[in-house]
Structure 1
Amino acid sequence: MDSSKQLDQTMTLEDGRRLGFAEVGYSAGLPVVYCHGFPASRLESVLIAQAAERQRARIIAPDRPGYGLSDLKPARTIGSWADDVAQLADSLGIERFSVLGTSGGGPYGLALAAQLPDRVQAVGIICGLGLLEDPEATQAMHWPARFGFGAARSAPRMLRLIYGEFLGRLIFRSPEVALSLLALGSPASDRSTLTRPEIKAALCASVREALRSGGEGAVQDMILYAHDWGIDLAQIRMPTTFWHGEADVTVPLSHTLALAERLPHAQVFTFPGEGHFSLPINRADEIIKTLIESIKRGNP
């Protein structure tokens, strides 16, 4: 089988910024742009590389601005991510592609669908973060998330000091500590997943890479998540599939259900017992297969 794993590629965008990206999976397969989680990087795609190869999908995973190998974009928006991805696709000779977003990559995956309707064939969102303009959306989340998104809305300077400086440096030096803290309040499925050596190593590598240039990219994300995303979800007309674990305490299932109600062609799959980290690992083959099948069915 024609497999590929190229993790440290870069290109130069029209405005001179560098964009980092990885390619994993089946190099001759259907192209899927992977929007990584928060805080994470292109290296997160390693977690689904084998499933992508089995399902014959070519995963293209760019770093968002300020993460990994990608330069910061000071005035970026969630919607402006579409410009970067369109240029990346052009450079790779790809006209049409599908999108798969995980966790904090969910809003960016939806932005691609809304902004590039002639290029995006289908969208998949795994345990995706929902709209946070309403403070009630964060009530079921862990207290650090509630505090962080509250600061993102009302005290961005404090957010930069705490998350961008202190916590960003701490997590960069010891990402395994952050994973251990996440495991403490997580369901059994997540605790089991996070203690698997190969999964833990891949997640630590992704998080450390995300923060290699500091925490500003992550701070930008938190501020953007907590405000109006600036995209019209009702304009997303291509097939959109959501997967969410019913035991997810990192991003509650209510986030996905609320998003799906706003989309005209959405379907939702929920999984009892699965958490935020276990679902994309345990169901990777099923997720990629379903995404590819939705491409073949075509637009409604």
Structure 2
Amino acid sequence: MTAPRLHHHAEGSPTAPPLILGPSLGTSLALWDGVAPELSSAHRVVRWDLPGHGGSPADLIKPGATVGDLADLVLTLADDLGIDRFAYAGVSLGGAVGLHLAVHHPERLTSLTVLCSSAHFGGAKNWEERAALVRKEGTAGVAETAPSRWFTPGFTVERLVQDNRDADPAGYAACCDALAAFDLRDRLPDITVPTLVVAGREDPATPPAHLREIADAVPDSELVELAGASHLAPAERPAAVVGLLRTHLGQAAKRGMEVRREVLGDAHVDRAQARQTPFTARFQDFISRYAWGEIWTDPTLTRRERSMITMTALVAHGHLDEFGMHVSAALRNGLTPDEIGAVVQQCAVYVGVPASNSAFGVAQRVLAEEGLA
């Protein structure tokens, strides 16, 4: 029997770069209705519901839950969907989940966007009182006052207010417990993933000062304040949020192209770009964004180690043209001719002598062209 997991909705190609979107307390995945479809043309977009909200069972978390518990549920969902690394964007409590993931599981994130959120939510007292109220009287009262916390005057999204009314009191209260205990301010400087921080200029729940605090502490992060937005910016300013996310997510492709040039050399990349056609453009973007922007930038392995692994795989599959290119790349990554020869020698044992023999011929030619043989 399959264990219960977060209710979610996925859209976009299963092979596209994954983007996971997290909700605010009291809302459902409908919070992203104006954003997710627009981003799904280039990403595998997965939205999820908090426990007790939308379609997620309330008993996924218990009283005294933490943001870490919610982050574990997100990772379990990603694992179930076969998603290893992903971009993440979240609003309010969903943003806190993203901060926790960036601190405690940075190897899973390719980028982080924190919207209308905080590294702390004003201390425990107010959240403990709200949790007690909801456990006693249900969510009708907090739903009644939600529009004033969520939206600028004169704007509302009734679907989201109804989501708050419909939220299971136990699940909602446990999420309040998580907010009460959350304080990640001292860990913000540890965040290393590319981070965008978005504030609603008219947000009374998490005012811009809270987002500035995050941006000031997270190295190399970017802060944007949205005019005409309160706490639920994706619902109130969806086009602006789409634009910000597209730009932020596109940084992986930009960094990937930089790394591609550093490893393969300008001449090779220029030739590849010159041969690009409308038919191959999407594939070239995939190579820059995923292979070079995510895999080769992952600090778990050094570039030297990645060169050795890549050369071995290319010899094993007989891709000798690519192998020759990566012999040159290995030199740029700091391998000596003797080390390259040792890699090819080991291939003779584990891949086969004929494959290794052919690879030695290619490597000898490349090293001669480089004046090293």
Question: Which one is further off, 252-261 or 287-296?
Answer: 287-296
Structure 1 residue aligned with 2:242: 285
In structure 2, the CA distance between the partners of 1:26 and 1:60, relative to structure 1 (3 Å rule), is same
The partner residue of 2:179 within 222, 225, 229 is: 225
CA contact (8 A) 1:37 1:105 kept: yes
Structure 2 residue aligned with 1:138: none
| Distance across 2 between alignment mates of 1:120 and 1:104 | 18
| Distance across 2 between alignment mates of 1:207 and 1:85 | 21
In structure 2, the CA distance between the partners of 1:130 and 1:119, relative to structure 1 (3 Å rule), is closer
Provide the TM-score with structure 1 as the length reference. 0.71
Q: Counterparts in 2 of 1:95-114, with a 5 A limit? A: 95-114=84-103
Q: Which entry has the higher C-alpha Rg, 1 or 2?
A: 2
In structure 2, the CA distance between the partners of 1:266 and 1:180, relative to structure 1 (3 Å rule), is closer
**What's the CA shift for 1:258?**
0.9
Residue type matched to 1:59 in 2?
V
Structure 1 unpaired stretches of 5+: 1-10, 136-148, 195-199
| Residues 30-70 of structure 1 deviation map (CA, whole Å, 9 limit, x = unaligned) | 2111111111223323232332235x222212223343323
**What's the CA shift for 1:202?**
3.8
| Distance across 2 between alignment mates of 1:274 and 1:65 | 26
**What's the CA shift for 1:79?**
1.8
Structure 1 residue aligned with 2:6: 19
Q: Does 1:65 align with 2:51?
A: yes
Q: Counterparts in 2 of 1:75-224, with a 5 A limit? A: 75-132=64-121, 150-152=125-127, 156=128, 158-170=129-141, 177-182=144-149, 187-188=152-153, 191-192=154-155, 194=156, 200-204=157-161, 206-208=163-165, 211=167, 214-224=168-178
SS in 2 for 1:106: helix
| Residues 254-283 of structure 1 deviation map (CA, whole Å, 9 limit, x = unaligned) | 110111222123111123343333554241
CA contact (8 A) 1:113 1:236 kept: yes
In structure 2, the CA distance between the partners of 1:282 and 1:207, relative to structure 1 (3 Å rule), is farther
CA contact (8 A) 2:68 2:100 kept: yes
Runs of 4+ deviating beyond 6 Å: none
CA contact (8 A) 1:102 1:125 kept: yes
**What's the CA shift for 1:181?**
4.4
**What's the CA shift for 1:95?**
1.5
Aligned residues: 251
| Residues 132-155 of structure 1 deviation map (CA, whole Å, 9 limit, x = unaligned) | 35x5xxxxxxxxxxxxx5333xxx
| Distance across 2 between alignment mates of 1:40 and 1:129 | 17
**What's the CA shift for 1:166?**
2.0
Q: Does 1:242 align with 2:197?
A: yes
Residue type matched to 1:248 in 2?
D
Larger relative strand fraction: 1
Larger relative helix fraction: 2
| Distance across 2 between alignment mates of 1:39 and 1:276 | 12
| Distance across 1 between alignment mates of 2:251 and 2:100 | 19
| Residues 108-158 of structure 1 deviation map (CA, whole Å, 9 limit, x = unaligned) | 11111222211210000111134135x5xxxxxxxxxxxxx5333xxx3x5
Quote the RMSD (CA, aligned, Å). 2.9
Structure 2 unpaired stretches of 5+: 256-292, 300-373
| Distance across 1 between alignment mates of 2:147 and 2:76 | 37
In structure 2, the CA distance between the partners of 1:132 and 1:18, relative to structure 1 (3 Å rule), is closer
CA contact (8 A) 1:81 1:112 kept: no
| Distance across 1 between alignment mates of 2:174 and 2:226 | 31
Higher RCO by CA contacts (8 Å cutoff, separation 6 or greater): 1
SS in 1 for 2:44: strand
In structure 2, the CA distance between the partners of 1:281 and 1:72, relative to structure 1 (3 Å rule), is same
